[in-house]
A = this chain, B = another copy of it.
Amino acid sequence: MVVVMAPGATPADVDAVVGSVRSAGGQAFVSRGLSRTIVGLVGDVADFEALNLGSLPGVLQVIRVSVPFKLVSREHHADRSVIRVGGVPIGPGTLTVIAGPCAVESPEQTLKAARLARSAGASLLRGGAFKPRTSPYSYQGLGEAGLRILAEVRAETGLPVVTEVIDPGSVDMVASYADMLQVGARNMQNFALLQAVGSAGKPVLLKRGFSATIEEWLSAAEYIAQRGNLDIVLCERGIRTFETATRNTLDISAVPVAQRLSHLPVIVDPSHSGGRRDLVVPLTRAAIAVGADGLLIDVHPEPKMALCDGDQALPESDIREIADIVATLPPVVGRELA
């Protein structure tokens, strides 16, 4: 940590900061500059935070220079991790495609979507039974009946299932059906839910909140890791900006940035990022090229009948293009399709 003193700070103000740090068992190094004096702190940041140094007289700013997460950090775990979901790897060296319908609507629709997913190159099936929707008047999902459908389709196709959980109280129930639990963007800082999935014994797919910084995203992962679960996959799905041509703005740089800060795999959702079907193919290409460890793609056998996000689901006719991309592009960047 660095404490920056205000231009008018007195020597006594500086001494008070130094004294406060020392009383907490830390060390303080003072650099007196022409226009600013700064104090560098050495010791445990958690101890220093409780000091409220920003409240002391003459303090202009307190700058934290270390990252606020440990278990998910590459500083403590230099090699990038491979997470396995029902035997399927996600991590360096492979490109893993997770695909399926935004919402589970019926056994037939889900089975057809799973077959589309497989033909697109997917080795994991996604599908939502609990749908967090902005409006209470939008379709909210089939609930546990949807999970049973997913389990049947898994039995039929062999594809392990990734599905969203939205309530700490239903985590165990959902985990009894799912191979991987998804925490959605709106719940990225639902800390009760993060702790619950951290204890559920299943891998977790953690979507980035649409206004979360990368640091906040990794701090949310740390909540899961703290409960003993390091099988976490991060999913970039677009952030909220002023641009309205796309539903969100895919932060493609977040992939290499998160991979440098954390050992966890990072995948991309090209469907929700843009919210436009015509962008799924180019964003899929960009995600693979930038080095993503996987993809999360919406497919629906009949998008115009979809009960949720039909405007972005890829119909059968576009699946071939995705299949072609995931077959040919990964080797160019040193990966193979999982």
Using CB atoms and an 8 Å cutoff, list the residues of chain A in contact with chain B.
Answer: 2, 4, 7, 27, 29-36, 38, 40-44, 46, 49-52, 54-56, 60-61, 63, 65-66, 68-69, 75, 132-139, 166-169, 186-187, 189-193, 209-211, 213-216, 219, 222-223, 226, 239-246, 249-257, 260, 273-274, 277-279, 282-283, 285-291, 303-307, 310-311, 328-329, 332-333
Complex contact B213–A242 (CB within 8 A): yes
Copy count, this protein chain: 4
Complex contact A55–B243 (CB within 8 A): no
Complex contact B136–A214 (CB within 8 A): no
Complex contact A33–B38 (CB within 8 A): no
Q: In the complex, A285 Cα to B32 Cα: how many Å?
A: 38
Chain B residues whose C-beta falls within 8 Å of the C-beta of A210 in the assembled complex: 211
Q: Chain B's nearest CB lies how many Å from the CB of A37?
A: 9
Complex contact B242–A242 (CB within 8 A): yes
Give chain A's interface secondary structure class: mixed
Q: In the complex, A32 Cα to B257 Cα: how many Å?
A: 25
Complex contact B243–A213 (CB within 8 A): yes
Nearest-CB residue, chain B, relative to A35: B66
Which one, B34, B286, B289, contacts A42 given CB within 8 A?
B34
Q: Chain B's nearest CB lies how many Å from the CB of A258?
A: 9
Q: In the complex, A41 Cα to B2 Cα: how many Å?
A: 12
Q: In the complex, A226 Cα to B137 Cα: how many Å?
A: 10
Nearest-CB residue, chain B, relative to A140: B191
Nearest-CB residue, chain B, relative to A186: B189
Complex contact B191–A190 (CB within 8 A): no
Q: In the complex, A244 Cα to B279 Cα: how many Å?
A: 23
Chain B residues whose C-beta falls within 8 Å of the C-beta of A192 in the assembled complex: 166-167, 169
Q: Chain B's nearest CB lies how many Å from the CB of A286?
A: 4
Q: Which 7 A-B pairs have the closest CB atoms?
A: A31-B40, A211-B211, A289-B289, A52-B310, A167-B192, A186-B189, A29-B31
Chain B residues whose C-beta falls within 8 Å of the C-beta of A285 in the assembled complex: 289-291, 333
Complex contact B42–A2 (CB within 8 A): no
Complex contact A245–B214 (CB within 8 A): yes
Chain B residues whose C-beta falls within 8 Å of the C-beta of A333 in the assembled complex: 285
Nearest-CB residue, chain B, relative to A26: B33
Other than the given A34-B43, A134-B216, A166-B191, 12 more pairs (CB < 8 A) read: A32-B42, A49-B138, A61-B65, A136-B223, A167-B168, A213-B242, A241-B241, A253-B282, A285-B333, A286-B286, A289-B329, A328-B332
Q: In the complex, A65 Cα to B186 Cα: how many Å?
A: 25
Known interface pairs A42-B31, A132-B191, A189-B186; A54-B168 also in contact (CB < 8 Å): no
